[in-house]
Amino acid sequence: MQNRNSADCIVFDEQAEYCHQIASMNRGRNLKYYIETLGCQMNEADSEQISGMLIQMGYTDTLDIAKADIIVFNTCCVRENAEFKLYGHIGKLKTVKQLKEGLLIVICGCMMQQKHIVEKIKKSYKHIDIVFGTHNRHEFPKLLFRRITEKKKIYEVWEDNKGIIEKVPVKRKSIITAFVPITYGCDNFCSYCIVPYVRGREKSRNPEMIKNEIINLASEGINEITLLGQNVNSYNCGMDFPGLLYYISDISGIDRIRFMTSHPKDLSDNLIKAMKEIPQMCSHIHLPLQSGSNSILKQMNRKYTKDEYLFLIEKIRESLKDITISTDIIVGFPGETEDDFQETLQVYEKAGFDFAYTFIYSKRSGTPAANREDQIPDDVKNRRFAKLISLVNDMTLKSNINDENKVLQVLVEGKSRTDDLVMTGRTRSNKIVNFKCDTDFTGSLIDVKIVKGHTWHLEGEKI
Ligand code: SF4
C-alpha cells in the first residue's frame, strides 16, 4: 500500500538531554508548573506532552496559577474571539510576573503559528518569555534551557511539520482513558477552517509506534483509548485506518477503542466492517455534517452532498444496530439563506442524530470564507442558532429517553463533582451516566440500568 502521507520520525533524544540538564538545575527547588489548554482534544494531547516534558525537567504540576514558577498557555485559534481572550489573559499576567521573581510565561499552540500574533506578542507583551508553535513543541526543553542560560526572550516557531516526533514523555490527565494521536494536520481545506494552515499537511504516524504506545497504556491500567486526528479515517502509513484498527485489536487490556474526528468522504465500508468485527470498538461515530444544504456544502469545500451523507448514515445504521451518531453543525456560513438553514434542520432530523456540537460561523483570517462579503448579520446567525439548539436538545432528549430500561456497560470515570455519593462514567455510545453508589468503582466497567434519560445525561442504577 502506498504511504501517501506517512511522515519521517524525529526522536526526542536530543531534547531528553536538555530535560536532564534543567532537572539538575532545578533539583531541590520544588518548582511548579501550571498549564492551561484551550481548544480541541488534539491540543489536550499536546498539553499532555508538554506536561510530560515539564515533569522530566523537574517541575510538578499545580492547579493554582499563583503557586506556579512556570505558566504555559496552549492556545487555539479555531474561534475568532480566542485571540482577544488570550491577550486579556496574558495582559493580566504582567502584574503577576512583576510580583514573582523568576516566574516564566510560555505561550504555545495553534495561535502561535500565525505570524501577526507572534509579532503582536513581541511588541506589546514583553513579559512573555518563550513562544513556540505546534510543529516544534518537542523543542520546549531546548528553548527553556536557552531562556534560562542566555537570559533572552525566545520566539521560535517552525513553519511546517518536519516529521512526527516520537518518544516525547507524556503526563496523562486520566488514569482510565487516553488520547493516542495517529495523524497530524489536515489536507482538506474546508473553506472556513484554519487547521490546515496552522497544523500543516496531514501526516500519519508509524503503526508500530502507535501499537507500542497502546501496549504501554494497557500495562499502566488504561481501559479506553481514543485514536485522534483532524481526519483519522484518512490514516495511511503502510495500512489504512481499518487496517490499523485490526492491527491494534489484539492488544490485551484495552476494553474500548474510540476515534475522532472522521470525514464523511473517507468513511469506508471497510471501516464499518471493522467496527462490526472488532469487539473493542465503541458504538459511537462522530461524523461532522456542518450543513444540510448542497450549495453551502459545496462552498464549504466539504466534498459530499446531503444525499451522500444521508446514504452513509443509513449504511452505518444498517450494519451497526446500536450505533450512536453525533455531528458538528455550523450556522451562518457566508451566503447561507433561510432555505439553506431549513435544509440543515431537515437533514438533522432525517439523520436522527443522537447529539451535536453546534457552532455559529466565525471568521478565521487567512481562510477563503473570511474574505467573503456576504457575511450573515449576527442577529440572523443568533436566531438560527437558537432554532438549531432547540432541535438538537429535543432530539438528544429523545435519544436518551430511548435508552430508558436498557442495561448499559459504563466505564466509571469517578465521583460526580456535585455529589460524593454519585458516580459518573460513559457508555460505549459515549453518553454520560450518573448513578448513586456508595462504593468507588472508578476505572471499572460495570452494568447500569438506565432509569431516566435527561437532555445532558442518563440517570442509572447499578445492577
Ligand atoms: S476536515 Fe475540514 S474542518 Fe476538519 S480540520 Fe480539516 S479543514 Fe478543518
* Structural domain range at position 414: 407-462
Task: Indicate whether 163 belongs to any domain.
Answer: no
Grid coordinates representing 411 are 466505564
Q: Are residues 379 and 430 in the same domain?
A: no
Confidence check: pLDDT of 80 > 90: no
Measured torsion, CA atoms of residues 198, 200, 204, 208, in degrees rounded to the nearest 10: -70
Phi/psi zone of residue 352: left (φ > 0), alpha (ψ -120 to 50 degrees), beta? left
Q: Domain check: are 177 and 296 in the same one? A: yes
Q: How far apart are CA 410 and CA 444, in angstroms?
A: 8
For residues 362 and 367, what is the distance between their CA atoms, to the nearest angstrom?
A: 11
Q: Which of 129, 156, 183 is the last residue of a domain?
A: 156
CB environment 175-209: b (16+ within 10 A), e (fewer):
ebbbbbbbbbbbebebbbbbbbbbbbebbbbbbeb
Q: In what order do the strands lie in the sheet with 324-331?
A: 284-286, 324-331, 355-360
Q: Using the mean position of ligand 1's atoms as its centre, give its distance from the Cα of residue 201 in Å.
A: 11
Amino acid in the structure at residue 256: R
- Are residue 75 and residue 102 in the same domain, yes or no? yes
In this structure, are 384 and 431 located in the same domain? no
Q: Which atom of ligand 1 is nearest to the CA of 187?
A: 6
Together in a domain, 445 and 389: no
Q: What is the mean pLDDT of residues 396-420?
A: 94
Both 392 and 356 in one domain: the answer is yes
Domain count, the chain: 3
Atom of ligand 1 nearest to the CA of 199: 5
Locate 142 and state its grid cell: 531546548
Q: What cell numbers appear for 48 in the block?
A: 499532555
- Give pLDDT, residue 49: 95
Cell 487516553 sits on residue: 178
Q: What integer is the mean pLDDT of 2-16?
A: 65
Domain at 197, CATH number: 3.80.30.20
Determine whether the shortest distance from the Cβ of 52 to ligand 1 is under 6 A. no
Nearest in space to 367 (alpha carbons), one of 203, 184, 198, 183: 198
Tell me how far apart the alpha carbons of residues 307 and 113 are, in angstroms, rounded to a whole number.
37
pLDDT tens digits for 228-242?
A: 999 999 999 999 999
- Cβ of residue 238 lying under 6 Å from some atom of ligand 1: no
Residue whose Cα lies nearest atom 1 of ligand 1: it is 188
Instruction: State the average pLDDT over residues 56-64.
Output: 96
Distance CA 372, CA 367 (A): 10
Whether 263 lines ligand 1, by a CB cut-off of 6 Å, is yes
Q: Which helix (H) or strand (E) holds 145?
A: helix 140-150
With the most atoms of ligand 1 within 8 angstroms of its CB, the residue from 230, 267, 364 to mutate is 230
In percent, the amount of the chain with pLDDT more than 70 equals 98
CA distances from 290 to 216, 295, 356, 391, 392 (A): 36, 12, 10, 15, 13
- Cβ of residue 262 lying under 6 Å from some atom of ligand 1: no
**Amino acid in position 304:** Y
Does residue 228 line the site of ligand 1, with CB under 6 A? no
Residues 177 and 295 both lie in one domain: yes
281 C-alpha vs ligand 1 centroid, how far in Å?
24
Report pLDDT for 7. 59
Give the closest residue (by CA) to ligand 1 atom 4: 230
> Average model confidence (pLDDT) for the chain?
93
Domain boundary among 401, 427, 445: 401
Q: Are residues 349 and 319 in the same domain?
A: yes
State the distance from the centre of ligand 1 to the C-alpha of 229, rounded, in angstroms: 10
Q: Is the CB of 186 under 6 A from ligand 1?
A: yes
16 in a structural domain:
yes
Q: Which of 82-86, 128-132, 149-153 has the lowest mean pLDDT?
A: 82-86
Ligand 1 center from residue 194 Cα (angstroms): 8
pLDDT value of residue 145? 96
C-alpha torsion angle, residues 246, 249, 250, 256 (rounded to 10): -170
Cell of 66: 499563583
Mean pLDDT of 262-286: 97
CA of 288 to the centre of ligand 1 (A): 10
Judged by DSSP in three states, 143 sits in helix
Query: What pLDDT, on a 0 to 100 scale, did the predictor assign at position 422?
Result: 94
Task: Tell me if 193 CB under 6 Å of ligand 1.
Answer: yes
Residues 332, 375: Cα–Cα separation, whole Å = 8
Average pLDDT over residues 19-33: 94
Model pLDDT for residues 144-188, shown as the tens digit of each residue: 999 999 989 999 999 887 788 888 999 999 999 999 999 999 999
What is the DSSP track for 174-213? -SSEEEEE-EES-S---TT--HHHHH-S-EEPPHHHHHHH
Please check whether residue 161 lies inside any domain of the structure: no
362 CA from centroid of ligand 1 (Å) = 15
pLDDT in tens, 331-363: 999 999 999 999 999 999 999 999 999 999 998
Please check whether residue 165 lies inside any domain of the structure: no
Determine whether the shortest distance from the Cβ of 232 to ligand 1 is under 6 A. Answer: no
390 C-alpha to ligand 1 centroid (Å): 26
Domain boundary among 385, 401, 417: 401
Q: Assess whether the C-beta atom of 369 lies below 6 angstroms from ligand 1.
A: no
Cell of 409: 456497560
Other C-beta atoms lying within 10 Å of the C-beta of residue 305: 13
> Which candidate, 455, 398, 408, places its Cα nearest to that of 435?
408
So what's the pLDDT on residue 429? Answer: 97
Tell how far the Cα of 211 is from the centroid of ligand 1, in angstroms: 26
Q: How confident is the model over 193-211, as pLDDT tens digits?
A: 998 998 888 999 999 999 9
**Which pLDDT band holds residue 6 (cuts at 50, 70, 90)?**
low
CA angle 44, 388, 271 (to 5 degrees): 55
399 lines ligand 1 (CB under 6 A): no
188 Cβ closer than 6 Å to some ligand 1 atom: yes
303 is a domain residue: yes
Residue 1 lies in a domain: no
In a shared domain, residues 316 and 446: no
Q: Which residue do the cell numbers 481562510 mark? A: 367
Distance 443 CA to ligand 1 centre (A): 33
pLDDT band at 84 (very low <50, low <70, confident <90, very high): confident
Query: What is the domain-level CATH number for residue 113?
Result: 3.40.50.12160
**Could you tell me where the beta strands, DSSP code E, fall in 292-444?**
324-331, 355-360, 407-415, 422-427, 432-436
Instruction: Please tell me the distance between residue 188's alpha carbon and the centre of ligand 1 in angstroms.
Output: 6
31 and 122 fall within a common domain: yes
Ligand 1 pocket, residue 231 CB under 6 Å: yes
- Residue 2: what pLDDT? 36
376 Cβ below 6 A of ligand 1: no
| Cα-to-centroid distance, 286 and ligand 1 (Å) | 14
pLDDT surpasses 50 at 64: yes
Check whether the bond before 261 is cis (ω within 30° of 0).
yes
Of the residues 5, 40, 110, 195, which should be mutated to test ligand 1's pocket, given the most ligand atoms within 8 Å of the CB? Answer: 195
Do 371 and 231 belong to one domain?
yes
Residue 110 counted as domain residue: yes
In this structure, is residue 197 part of a structural domain?
Answer: yes
Q: What is the pTM of this model?
A: 0.91
Please give the single-letter amino acid code of residue 446.
I
Q: 377 and 416 share a domain? A: no
